[in-house]
Structure 1
Amino acid sequence: MTKCSERGFPRGETGLKEWEQRVTQPTVRGGGPSPFIFLRGETVPPSSPCPSPIAHPCIMKLKTTTIDVHPTEKAIIVHYDVEASLLGEDGEAMLEEKKERQKVIRLRSLNTCSDLDTLCRDIISQCRLIHPSRTAELKQLLYYLQNRKEKSVGNGGGIATDPLNASFDATSPSDVEANLNCLEDYIELLYEDTSSKVNGSGLILQLCRNPDNLEEFSENDVMLSALARVLREDWKRNYDLTVNLLYCFYCFSVFTKFHGVIQERRLGSLCMEIIEFEVTRRSQWLEGLLPDSAKRLSSATSLDAAEEGGATAISEGGAIANKSEEGTKRPNSQEQSDSGPSRKKLRAALSKQNQLLRVSFYLLLNLSEERAVEQKMVLKGIVRLLLAALDHPEEGQMTSELATLSLTFLLKLSVFRENKNEMAMLGLPRIVSPYLVWEESPEVPNITLRLLFNLSFDSGIREAIVRAGLLIPIVAHLGVEKNQHQALCLLYHLSVEDQVKSMLSHSDCIPMVMRFILSSSASSTPKMELLALAINLAANKRSAQLICGEGGQGLRLLLKRAVKQQDVLLMKMIRNISQHDGPSKQLFLNHVGDLAMCLQRTHMPESEEFVLECIGILGNLTLEQIDWKAILEEMDLLVWLQEMCCARTTEDDFLLEVVIWLGTMARDEEAATYLLQNGVLQNVLTLLNDAVHYLIDLMNDANAQVAKLCDASLDLVMAHDPTWSGKVREEKFRHHNGQWLEMISRSLAAGETPSPDDLACSSLGDDEDSIRQQLLDQAQLFGSSTPSDDCLSTTSDLDDLPSTSRKSVAKFGGFNS
């Protein structure tokens, strides 16, 4: 006879045990009958404690709603409603509450030979929630369970909420199914020998895989303390035991509310210690692949060592014990005969170790949801450990699951600058290079590309990626639809470097990019990252020629698509192509009219940025074959140019491109004469007055190159326009002697007379304007900001003066101090 579950309600529910004890007693405190009246079914806890149970009895009504099968187990689920009514002194209901509940009836011995009629009678006799009138329905459900094919139980039908589908293999008796009622027996096994500990931990793991049990287990200090103690004491002795114990705590780590169970027992630090030990052990095992280490590997049976309390074959430092006999060396034939078993043993050891590392890293990854915990892991070297685990992908030493997990963990850590710097220092691009061409799982290359993209914001890492030879594998992923987005973004970052632009011109990158751009539907624009990469590639001369294609076919298709869709990014790409002298620029002769037509009032696009790019392309076409005068007359662009140069509302960027285009057209004598006769160039000259003000403002810019260019431009203005000479000289003087002038101004504002030291032996008046004028006369300003030879010699003689004299001269040293 199949035994039904003795529990009618979840064991982990709060206050259930106390409730069961109360309802099994016929009387309550103070004597008298029980205040609980059960109309049908089993005892059910009320939703809230009943105040004054003697004075206010509580009536509980049970009503079965539906009966269904368990989705994964051999069990029947009975859904029922609990109606609780609190009666007053007059017998009327004072308070009513209804709650949905369910009862699981497990049928573990159900098989194809079971008698369903007998089983139905047993279930109905033991579970009063099912009325005899529903016997036919119950029999139909049992028949379904009897013939249902069992699903894979690799993860026990339990924890499956992790993002990477963590289904670890646990070691437990294959013919024994864990029973929640035998939990104390399983805990007792943890106090016996190693094999018993493995069996006990495997059975407990079966229960932990069911999320419904975790709430109750989190309050079971005896079980948790026993698991933590065995893990802390015996993790070096047996891989299967260590994996089972870590997997139990991993089940808790999936849920944030149970992280305290792990942190209270400091299991995070223990995991770091285990990973450190295993990574060191792995590097020493791999030395056994050498021919002279075959004898060491034949004796490295540390996986199941010390099962009976003997010494482990692995030392505390992780080194493999070498028990080879001393004496003469074996013949080469004997070494070759040993290499086969040694390699088999090594692969078996690495397989178990990969499983241990995987569950350890998963546990830490779940705990790292808290930023403070993650920082502790970083301080303990989690980045180094992850890279060390990834550093041996050959010889079957790495599984796709472990690689995916390690790369995901690194991806999570890479968003912080400190972690990024450590990854760069440890040579991450070289270590992850094999995973870009990983064929066993498509997830591995995808995560690798995302990781490299996060790091590619650093110029040093971009250089490291190129040095590691990753450019061609990254380009190859453009053809993989799942990895295309990540590859485009990464190549865009890399193409910022001029060296990479040149290298990409010798790869399949440009043909693939052109195919993606031109193959997209006419109604939609290509992806932004695709166009951004194309813009960078067009800045290289060889790449621009490849984009134009044979006979300019590529350029013609790009221009046609850009004008039709008014695509600003495509026009930026074409503009970069137009800046290269040579064959690619000559191809624009056939498209000058189309570009100029975009500037006509009747054909002008709505987007000002698109018009700006068109003007920029025309400004780059410094070709003698172009008749600019004819274009201006035919397209009626002269009036538009005059308005652009005179309008005060024109944007500076727009106005700059117009001026550059006018300069390009002025290279043609006929066009220059035409522009001059119609007053366009005069309008441009009036813009220079405003330009001087900008130059003066930018003369003190923080960018040294900008300040130098503005200084040189102001020297030209001073040489050709005397009206600006005095103002520019005064502004330069203020800049170089600003601190001294501020001190003098404060003294004059306070009504004080500057001291002789402040005036440096100069007979200056009390008036500030006269002071400034005399200073300007003594400053000996030069026509250029670059000091002359005489001035350099004068300033170099400052070192020969006494300290007091040197200080006074420095105040009036002019612009070259």
Structure 2
Amino acid sequence: MTTLKRIDATSIRIKTLTPLTNLTSVAQEVVEKCKLIHPSKTREVEQVLYYLLQRQAAREDDIMSDREWLKRQLEEQKREEERSVGGDQIKLEAPSIANIESYIEGLYEEIPDKIKSTRNVMELAREPGNLDALVGNEALISALSRVLREDNRKSTPLNTNIITIFFCFSQFPQYQEVITAHKVGDMCLRIVEMEVRRFGIWCEDLKGFEAKCAQNPADKTLVAELDQETRKFQATVQKQDQLLFVSFHLLLNLAHDLSIEPKMVKRGIVKYLVEMMSRGTPELVVLVTNFLKRLSIVRENKDEIVGMGEGFMSKLDRLIPNEHETLQPLLLRLTLNLVHEAHFRSQLHRYHFLSKFIQLLQSTSSASSSGLKRQMTPTLQILYMMTLEEKGRAAFANSESTSLILRLLLSQPTSQSSSERLPLMALAINLANHPRTAPLLLAENSLKFLMKRVMKTRDPLLWKMLRGMAGCTGEEGRMAFMDYIDDIMHLLFKSTNQPETLVEILGLLGSLKIPHFDFAKLAEAYGLLQLVQSKLQSAVDVVVGAGEMASGGGGAGATGVSDDVDNATAGLAEDDDITLEVVVLLGTMANDENIGPMVSKTQIPQILMELMIAKEDDDEMILQIIYCAYQFLLIESTRAVLLDETEIVSYLIDLLYDRNVEIRKMCDVCLDLISETDDEYLLKIRHQKFHYHNSEWLHRIAQSTSTASQHDLMYMVEQPDPQYESYAGQRRGAIFDSKEPWSDSDSEADVDDFGKGMVVGGNNALLDGF
């Protein structure tokens, strides 16, 4: 009943005030009953009633703490027991620490006396000031543990009272040793296992009654029995939930000891916790979810939860999303702990959790309460983890998801903390790097707003997102970036001292593979080739400088030189990404044949070959340099520079023996191109490629003809028999990895090392043959 009070102390009682109440009619009723309120104030009265309704709803929605909920449940139980004693009997006396001996004696009587004694001890244990006296009474603790061990099957209230007493002890670490010494945790697990089996039996019995009623719906006796059994089932389950709550809460407190937690896991507590997620008591579900969240930090526990498959996913599916303000964040944190497992991510997609999280993200982003706002970050983190695989990113290929993420991105304040900004940016970057989702991010003229924002903030993460969009959209999407090419170029030269931003802008330009785009005009207008040459030259100089320092460091100064080399190498590692993006950009620019004459007037081809030698251990760098060289070999002006002023053919032949398959394929294509365009290298390349493609066959021949003369072997290699050529065609592409290629030698003892000159003989050995 709600009371509306006026300043003059006049009270008007309102019987019902719920969200469905017609406030206008209630306000008119209040004005009619109270002669002191003028009818013109009816609107103000209605407003007061509205505030009163909101305050009442807020008070009802307050989340009780575990201790407060348990306190109310125990008080209700106590009132029921007092009512069961008899209405005419005087109310039970308040428990006192002075009567502790009588309470201990009651533990040796029948079940009703034990329940009464344990209830009195429980009331004392709820006061922290009494814990020292209770824990110090060894006879009391022994009697309680004995009753719990021997009579746990006889009475649920008795179990609840005793475990609640030990739960009060477990809240303080100094008293937990008493609990473990009397093996209370072990007995709690046994009781949980027993109660789970009981619940299964109760459910089967109730289903049996329901089946009978379904067969005879007209039998009123069966319907009455079913109604009675349902009420009995609900009352029993409520008492059982109370027992399970205190049992799991006690175990959770004990689990803070890292030596006890693994023992609980071995006893199967994870299975019981997952089983409890389907219970109807919100406080119990909150507790077990919190317990699971704590256990899921350990890999073995996480694997066990994920391994339950449908048994766990069905319960999680029922709970997410959830309106409970405490349960929802715990469910998100638990899911975040598990989503690092690839199998669990696939299960989330299989059970259609993506739409749930998108819906939750939409509601939290538009919420006004701080509690819901805090749920936004873990939701974004989960969505980001769901996009780690290609299939996961493809699941976002709908306008609802991408438009929501894009709207959040554009509405994000620039002053937002990194912990809130990073999950959203990481999610957007992943989606921008997929061909099905990247075009959706460019819809509705969003590029205009993104470019405006990135020009203002110069955010490297936003540049990374734009770079992904440029690489994964089609020609139409890339052409949209041409409207902002001038702004991009201006910011490129302003960011030369900002590596994080520079590497992303270079990557964006390198992704703009647009047919018939005039890169020559762009390079001439902004001096782009000069920037490329300077970056490549600086990368080569760093490697050369580090090599000179390493070769010059001997004797007493070796230690100091080693430190300098490490520093130089570390400096190079920081610039490796920039160097790689410069090479990629150069390869993209080479698609425009007009860029060839401009490149031929620079030292870029020579520097590229030097960089190839300097970065011989970096497969990605070598592959991009070879592709760039291939593009330049297609242009007459740059092809002449590469063939006349560099030793590119020697390098390509040498890389035919590289262990990277893609590098070998690219080298083969480049050598074929050189053979087709330059007759001078045709015979030499054919000769070397014959040995490359038939290295294993030549090795076998060398072994089988160890008595043959060097001259005969040379003649056989230079003039292979047609049947050998047929066999070599079948063995094309074989790589002999167990030995080095062979070398030219004057002694028969070196026949097995035939071809080693291709590695140690220098470039002349590669081109001059044997």
Q: TM-score, normalised by structure 2?
A: 0.65
Residue 123 of structure 2 is aligned to residue 241 of structure 1: no
Q: Which residue of 2 aligns with 1:445?
A: 328
Residue 470 of structure 2 is aligned to residue 578 of structure 1: yes
Q: Distance in 1 between matches of 2:485 and 2:94?
A: 81
Residue 237 of structure 2 is aligned to residue 350 of structure 1: yes
The equivalent position to 1:710 in structure 2, one of 651, 659, 663, is 663
1:70-469 pair list within 5 angstroms? 167=71, 169-170=73-74, 171-172=77-78, 175-290=92-207, 292-293=209-210, 332-390=219-277, 392=278, 397-427=279-309, 428-439=312-323, 441-469=324-352
Residue 502 of structure 2 is aligned to residue 611 of structure 1: yes
Q: Which residue of 2 aligns with 1:628?
A: 519
The equivalent position to 1:668 in structure 2, one of 585, 588, 592, is 592
Q: Which residue of 1 aligns with 2:403?
A: 511
> Per-residue deviation at 1:685?
4.8
Residue 377 of structure 2 is aligned to residue 489 of structure 1: no
Q: For the Cα contact (< 8 Å) 1:249–1:363, is it kept in 2?
A: yes
Q: Distance in 2 between matches of 1:570 and 1:793?
A: 44
Q: For the Cα contact (< 8 Å) 1:187–1:223, is it kept in 2?
A: yes
CA spacing shift, 1:260–1:662, aligned 2, 3 Å:
same
Q: Which residue of 2 aligns with 1:540?
A: 434
CA spacing shift, 1:231–1:692, aligned 2, 3 Å:
closer
1:391-438 residue CA offsets vs partner (Å, 9 max, x unmatched): x3xxxx421111111111111111122111111121223322212122
Whichever residue aligns with residue 73 of structure 2, its letter is D
Q: For the Cα contact (< 8 Å) 1:718–1:725, is it kept in 2?
A: no
> Per-residue deviation at 1:679?
4.9
Q: Distance in 2 between matches of 1:683 and 1:420?
A: 52
Q: Distance in 2 between matches of 1:465 and 1:696?
A: 34
> Per-residue deviation at 1:693?
6.3
1:724-765 residue CA offsets vs partner (Å, 9 max, x unmatched): 99899899989x99xx9xxxxxxxxxxxxxxxxx98883599
CA spacing shift, 1:342–1:524, aligned 2, 3 Å:
closer
Q: For the Cα contact (< 8 Å) 2:509–2:585, is it kept in 1?
A: yes
Q: For the Cα contact (< 8 Å) 1:407–1:451, is it kept in 2?
A: yes
1:763-802 pair list within 5 angstroms? 788=728, 790-791=730-731
Q: For the Cα contact (< 8 Å) 1:202–1:244, is it kept in 2?
A: yes
Q: Distance in 2 between matches of 1:697 and 1:503?
A: 33
Consecutive unaligned residues in structure 2, runs of 5 or more: 1-63, 83-90, 365-372, 543-571, 624-657, 675-680, 721-726, 736-751, 757-770
> Per-residue deviation at 1:520?
2.6
1:738-817 pair list within 5 angstroms? 762=706, 788=728, 790-791=730-731
1:586-605 pair list within 5 angstroms? 586-600=479-493, 603-604=494-495
Q: Distance in 2 between matches of 1:537 and 1:341?
A: 56
| Residue aligned with 1:398, SS | coil
> Per-residue deviation at 1:290?
2.8
Q: For the Cα contact (< 8 Å) 1:453–1:486, is it kept in 2?
A: yes
Residues matched between the structures, number: 565
1:24-39 pair list within 5 angstroms? none
1:625-664 pair list within 5 angstroms? 626-647=517-538, 648=540, 649=542, 651-664=575-588
CA spacing shift, 1:582–1:630, aligned 2, 3 Å:
closer
> Per-residue deviation at 1:253?
1.1
CA spacing shift, 1:681–1:498, aligned 2, 3 Å:
same
More helix by share: 2
The CA RMSD over aligned residues, in Å, is 4.3
Residue 394 of structure 2 is aligned to residue 502 of structure 1: yes
> Per-residue deviation at 1:379?
0.9
CA spacing shift, 1:522–1:437, aligned 2, 3 Å:
closer
| Residue aligned with 1:372, SS | coil
| Residue aligned with 1:218, SS | helix
Q: For the Cα contact (< 8 Å) 1:291–1:339, is it kept in 2?
A: no
> Per-residue deviation at 1:450?
0.8
> Per-residue deviation at 1:538?
1.2
Q: For the Cα contact (< 8 Å) 1:718–1:724, is it kept in 2?
A: no
Residue 355 of structure 2 is aligned to residue 472 of structure 1: yes
Q: For the Cα contact (< 8 Å) 2:612–2:622, is it kept in 1?
A: no
Q: Distance in 1 between matches of 2:328 and 2:734?
A: 66
> Per-residue deviation at 1:192?
2.0
Q: Distance in 2 between matches of 1:588 and 1:610?
A: 17
Q: For the Cα contact (< 8 Å) 2:290–2:330, is it kept in 1?
A: yes
CA spacing shift, 1:646–1:163, aligned 2, 3 Å:
farther
Q: For the Cα contact (< 8 Å) 2:580–2:621, is it kept in 1?
A: no
> Per-residue deviation at 1:219?
2.1
Q: For the Cα contact (< 8 Å) 1:545–1:584, is it kept in 2?
A: yes
Whichever residue aligns with residue 521 of structure 1, its letter is P
Q: Which residue of 2 aligns with 1:129?
A: none
CA spacing shift, 1:166–1:471, aligned 2, 3 Å:
farther
CA spacing shift, 1:420–1:612, aligned 2, 3 Å:
same
* Identical aligned residues as a percent: 28
Q: For the Cα contact (< 8 Å) 2:694–2:731, is it kept in 1?
A: no
Q: For the Cα contact (< 8 Å) 2:397–2:436, is it kept in 1?
A: yes
More strand by share: 1
Q: Distance in 2 between matches of 1:556 and 1:644?
A: 30
CA spacing shift, 1:559–1:656, aligned 2, 3 Å:
same
> Per-residue deviation at 1:594?
1.1
Q: For the Cα contact (< 8 Å) 1:538–1:547, is it kept in 2?
A: yes
Q: Distance in 2 between matches of 1:363 and 1:384?
A: 17
Whichever residue aligns with residue 538 of structure 1, its letter is A
1:677-756 pair list within 5 angstroms? 677-681=601-605, 683-690=607-614, 694=618, 707-713=660-666, 715=668
> Per-residue deviation at 1:512?
2.8
| Residue aligned with 2:109, SS | coil
Q: Distance in 1 between matches of 2:527 and 2:686?
A: 37
Q: Which moved more, 1:674-683 or 1:515-524?
A: 674-683
| Residue aligned with 2:660, SS | helix
Q: Distance in 1 between matches of 2:469 and 2:241?
A: 51
Q: Which is higher, the Rg of structure 1 or of structure 2?
A: 1
CA spacing shift, 1:250–1:559, aligned 2, 3 Å:
same
Q: Which residue of 2 aligns with 1:559?
A: 451
Q: Which residue of 2 aligns with 1:38?
A: none
Q: Distance in 2 between matches of 1:788 and 1:164?
A: 85
| Residue aligned with 1:344, SS | helix
1:226-262 residue CA offsets vs partner (Å, 9 max, x unmatched): 1111111222222211111110011111122212211
Q: Distance in 2 between matches of 1:794 and 1:525?
A: 56
CA spacing shift, 1:273–1:677, aligned 2, 3 Å:
same
> Per-residue deviation at 1:655?
1.9
1:623-678 residue CA offsets vs partner (Å, 9 max, x unmatched): 23643222222223232222123222473321221122222222223234433344
Q: Distance in 2 between matches of 1:258 and 1:581?
A: 68
Consecutive unaligned residues in structure 1, runs of 5 or more: 1-159, 297-327, 700-704, 741-757, 781-786, 796-810
Q: Distance in 2 between matches of 1:682 and 1:164?
A: 78
Whichever residue aligns with residue 130 of structure 2, its letter is N
| Residue aligned with 1:246, SS | helix
Q: Distance in 1 between matches of 2:532 and 2:753?
A: 49
1:434-478 residue CA offsets vs partner (Å, 9 max, x unmatched): 121222x21212111111111111111111111122111122222
